[in-house]
Chains A and B, each alone.
Chain A
Amino acid sequence: MAIWVIADKCTGCGLCVKACPYGAMQVQDKLAALGPRCTQCGACLEACKFEALGSDLADEPRPDLSGYRGVWVFCEVQDGALARVSLELLGQGARLAAELGQTLATVLLGEDVEGLVPELAAQGADRVYLAQDAGLAAYSTLAYTRVLSELIATHRPNILLLGATPLGRDLAPRLSRRLDLGLTADCTELAIDPVDGGLWQTRPAFGGNVMATIVTPTARPQMATVRPGVMALGPRRDGAQAEVVRHPVRLEPGDLLVRLLASQAQGQRPVDLGAARVIVAGGRGCGGPQGMELLAQLAQALGGELGGTRVAVEEGWLGQARQIGQTGVTVRPDLYIACGISGAIQHRAGCLGARYIVAINRDRRAPIFSVADYALAGDMFKIVPAMLAALKGAA
């Protein structure tokens, strides 16, 4: 199994160098050359416009996958209601199903959850696979894996989507190994390959510095977890009906090995910037704890978390757990608002994975602006209070 360069056809154009996610490809003496870092991922094969790369990677036989039909969404239930991410997945699942000409189904597990069926139908589900049992009242990895794997083996869906929540990220990999399925974590985009109908699963890689599109060529269903907050809700179909398919549940003692002893809500929630959707971050320009307090108010008003640079942490304006960048955490929120941050390379590396970056800084030449979607040259002590006032007025 290998990739090689066909010297007669290679023009040394360097497209493969750009495409290589591992930095393994170089142009030497006007010819592409593979280095030892090559993992044979095949990204270069796709990029070459001159058929100058040979490989025996694509020679695997493809099994007949036509028997796998339908888009499934795993429904996450929180405190008796559907998690928002499940509704987002239904919106996205409906779009994928329509493109494929297949149905959209949801999988609903719990003890007494049948009352959620009308809402699922209104959100676009054509069918609901319903499994109810006292053993499913609270999420447990092994019990849920058993029921889901039975349902998949029986009904053979084409695509299965789960939210990239703590629950989804606990369940999906377990299921993928039980059924020998490929799994792509934390997708931010999903699309259908117009040629073969496969699912293009796009996710951030290398700390958000590169986006990678991933496919599952041989196994069905194609499984992906999707980040909350990324997919748009579909149109509501009030009064729509969904077919209910009941699945008999027979759990075994081995499925209930892990026992929940206690569950305690945290008044003082531990900081987890990695999961935050909105982050307001401050740097040297905050000037002190008062500046940071101002940003904390903005973070709160936006339902986000407060973070900062190494300087802010070293000055004692902020706890270590909130440091972003070098020796801190790498974050990829939907919205990152950098205030009074010049944007040293070490800090930028920690926040580049954000979907949108807003920078507020007095110095128009600050490097942070080079990675910003929205650049506001000005005084954060004037702009942030103006934002707070406008947000209050809107509420």
Chain B
Amino acid sequence: MPGQPDSPLCVAVLVKQVPDSAEIKMDPRTGTLIREGVPAVMNPDDRLGLETALALKDSLGALVTALSMGPIQAVDVLSEALAMGADRGVLLSDRNFAGADTWATSFTLGRALERLMSQGPLDLVICGRQASDGDTAQIGPQVAEHLGWPQVTYVERLEVEGRELRAWRRLPGLVQKVLCPLPAVVTVLATPQAPRWPLVDRLLWACREAAPLEVWDAADIEAPAARTGLKGSLTRVVKTFSPKGQRVTQWLEGTAAEQSQALLAELRGHKLI
């Protein structure tokens, strides 16, 4: 149990599978995105979260569970997490979870964390600051509220001592050092060490049938359909449009001085400078 001197620190890391932004190609004629065949990867900020947890495993012997929600293919990021050093992977996958906004996603993740806590102690939840495909940065604080735990966001360094954590928060032009009791939720935007590479032998192990990977569905976490997926979402996308449709290239001609004057006038006109 937490609080007893010999029990290991129990950490859950939230990881998301996202389209690899480096592999996104554009149709050179239309300037629109080609989504076909874009490989899926672990969200970069979540990799930092995992590294933060694995550093706690190195220093304190923490037990690290990686938790993801997504289609069944998202199990790949959990295999990678195991190969990097996580002890256990849990994928939340159910047709009912599809189309979730952040409220419904954080509810689903929250229920899964509660199930983890019914199986054993949980002291710390680590998330990446934000996902590269949504950029909302909402899941961390929303999961913290679901659990009723304090949150520390924008963390670049983390230490755990006893039942407290010390975190260094990176804000614009400022670093804050804060003290927070456990259990807590932390969102991470950097790590002192670059995230470690997956180990080949661990990757082979992680891909075996006996690997500690589980898939939980809505029934496993007792998540009612009305609170998950699109149905449980409080926001709705009503329209999408291409911002590039509005981009009309305007050529500024003349000598360098004339071009620069014309440009600065345009930028001032749009209040950009």
Cβ contacts A to B, 29 pairs, < 8 Å: A39-B99, A43-B238, A173-B106, A173-B141, A174-B141, A176-B103, A177-B141, A185-B102, A210-B33, A211-B241, A211-B243, A213-B240, A214-B235, A214-B237, A215-B236, A216-B234, A216-B236, A232-B271, A257-B150, A258-B178, A264-B176, A265-B174, A335-B272, A335-B273, A345-B25, A371-B247, A374-B252, A376-B251, A378-B259
CA of A146 to CA of B252, assembled, Å: 53
Known contacts A214-B237, A386-B257; A272/B150 CB under 8 A: no
Cβ B138 vs Cβ A383 within 8 A: no
B98 in contact with A40 (CB, 8 Å): yes
Is A142 an interface position by the 8 A CB rule?
yes
CA distance A303 to B98 in the complex (A): 42
From 19 to 41 in chain A, residues with beta carbon under 8 angstroms from any chain B beta carbon are 19-23, 38-41
Kindly list chain A residues whose C-beta atoms are within 8 Å of the C-beta of B173.
265-266, 269
Contact B181 A257 (CB under 8 A): yes
Question: Given the known A-B contacts A23-B36, A335-B267, A352-B244, are A262 and B236 also in contact in the complex, defined by CB atoms under 8 Å?
Answer: no
A185 to B103 CA separation, bound complex (whole angstroms): 12
Q: Is the CB of A390 within 8 A of B132?
A: no
Least CB distance, B271 to chain A, in whole angstroms? 8
B261 interface residue, CB < 8 Å from A?
yes
Does residue A62 face the partner (Cβ distance < 8 Å to B)? no
Q: If A206-B33, A210-B243, A215-B238 touch, does A327 touch B22 (CB 8 Å cutoff)?
A: yes
Contact with A along B135-151 (1 / 0, CB 8 A): 11111111011100011
The residue in chain A whose Cβ has the minimal distance to the Cβ of B166 is A261
Contact with B along A377-388 (1 / 0, CB 8 A): 111001111110
Which residues 97-116 of B have a CB within 8 angstroms of A? 98-99, 101-103, 106
Q: How far is the CA of A141 from the CA of B250 in the complex (A)?
A: 46
Instruction: Determine whether A135 belongs to the interface, using a CB cutoff of 8 Å to chain B.
Output: no
Given contact pairs A182-B235, A272-B172, enumerate 12 new A-B contacts (beta carbons under 8 Å): A19-B239, A39-B98, A173-B106, A208-B243, A215-B238, A257-B150, A258-B180, A302-B273, A371-B31, A371-B244, A377-B253, A390-B264
Would you call B5 an interface residue if the criterion is a C-beta within 8 Å of the partner chain's C-beta atoms?
no
Q: Which residue of chain A is the closest to B96 with respect to CB atoms?
A: A1
Q: Mark A360-395, 1 if CB is under 8 A from B, else 0.
A: 000000010111111111110011111100110010
> Does any Cβ of B come within 8 Å of A86's Cβ?
no
Judged by a CB distance under 8 angstroms, whether B214 is at the interface is no
Interface string of B180-199 (1 = CB under 8 A from A): 11000000001000000000
Which residues of B142-180 have CB atoms within 8 Å of chain A's CB atoms? 142, 144-146, 150-154, 156, 166, 170-180
Q: Is the interface of B mostly helix, strand, loop or mixed?
A: mixed
Query: Shortest CB–CB separation between residue B104 and chain A, in angstroms?
Result: 10
0 or 1 for each of A321-350: is its CB under 8 Å from B? (1 = yes): 000011100100011000000000110111
Interface residues of A in 136-194 (CB under 8 A from B): 141-142, 145, 166, 169-174, 176-178, 180-186
Q: B residues within 8 A CB of A270? A: 156, 170, 190
Which B residues are CB-close (under 8 A) to A330?
21, 132
B249 at the interface (CB under 8 A from A): yes
How far apart sit A111 and B139, CA to CA, in the bound complex (Å)?
30
Residues of B close to A269: CB separation below 8 A: 172-173
A180 touches B240 (CB 8 A): no
Kindly state whether residue A46 has any CB partner on chain B within 8 Å.
yes
Query: A312 to chain B: closest CB distance in Å?
Result: 17
Q: Are A334 and B272 in contact (CB under 8 A)?
A: yes
Name which residue of chain B comes closest to A171, CB basis: B141
Contact residues in A for B257 (Cβ distance below 8 Å): 386
Partner of B142 from A38, A42, A176, A263 at Cβ < 8 Å? A176
Please determine whether A218 and B234 come into contact, CB atoms closer than 8 angstroms: yes
Contacts of B235 in A (CB 8 A): 182-184, 201, 214-216
Q: A170-B141, A266-B174 are in contact. Are A370 and B259 (CB under 8 A)?
A: no
Q: Are A183 and B103 in contact (CB under 8 A)?
A: yes
A105: chain B residues at CB < 8 Å are none
Inter-subunit contact A356/B234 (CB<8 Å): no
Interface size on A, residues (CB 8 A): 107
B271 — which chain A residues lie within 8 A by C-beta? 232
Smallest CB separation, A86 vs chain B (Å)? 16
Q: Report chain A residues within 8 Å CB of B106.
A: 173, 177
Residue ID in chain B nearest A138 by CB atoms: B176
Provide the B17-38 mask, 1 if CB < 8 A to any CB of A, else 0. Answer: 0010110111010010101100
Interface string of B69-89 (1 = CB under 8 A from A): 000000000000000000000
Which A residues touch B136, using CB under 8 A? 173, 185-186
Residues of B within 8 A of A387 (CB): 260, 263-264
Q: How far is the CA of A330 from the CA of B244 in the complex (A)?
A: 16
A357 contacts the other chain (Cβ, under 8 Å)?
Answer: yes
Query: What are the residues of chain A within 8 A of B263 when measuring CB–CB?
Result: 358, 374, 376, 387
Residues from chain B with Cβ under 8 Å of A141 in the complex: 141, 150-151, 153
Chain B positions within 8 Å of A208 at CB level:
243
Minimal Cβ-Cβ distance residue in A for B101: A182
Within the complex, which residue of A174, A207, A211 is in contact with B21, where a contact is CB–CB below 8 Å?
Answer: A207
Chain A residues, CB < 8 A from B145: 145, 173-174, 177-178
Specify which chain B residues have a CB less than 8 angstroms from the CB of A172 in the assembled complex. Answer: 138
Contact in complex: B146, A185 (CB < 8 Å): no
Task: Determine the chain B residues whose CB is within 8 A of the CB of A176 once the complex forms.
Answer: 102-103, 138, 142
Identity of the chain A residue whose Cβ is nearest the Cβ of B35 in the assembled complex? A23
Residue in B closest to A394 when the chains form the complex, CB atoms: B264
Q: A81 interface residue, CB < 8 Å from B? A: no
B residues in contact with A215, CB < 8 Å: 235-236, 238
B210 interface residue (CB < 8 Å to A):
no
Which chain B positions have C-beta within 8 A of A142? 150
B236 touching A206, Cβ below 8 Å: no
- Is the CB–CB distance between A173 and B138 below 8 Å? yes
Interface centre among B99, B103, B267, B272 (most CB of A within 10 A): B272
Which residues of A have CB within 8 Å of B222? none
> Are B141 and A261 in touch, CB under 8 angstroms?
no
Contacts of B101 in A (CB 8 A): 182
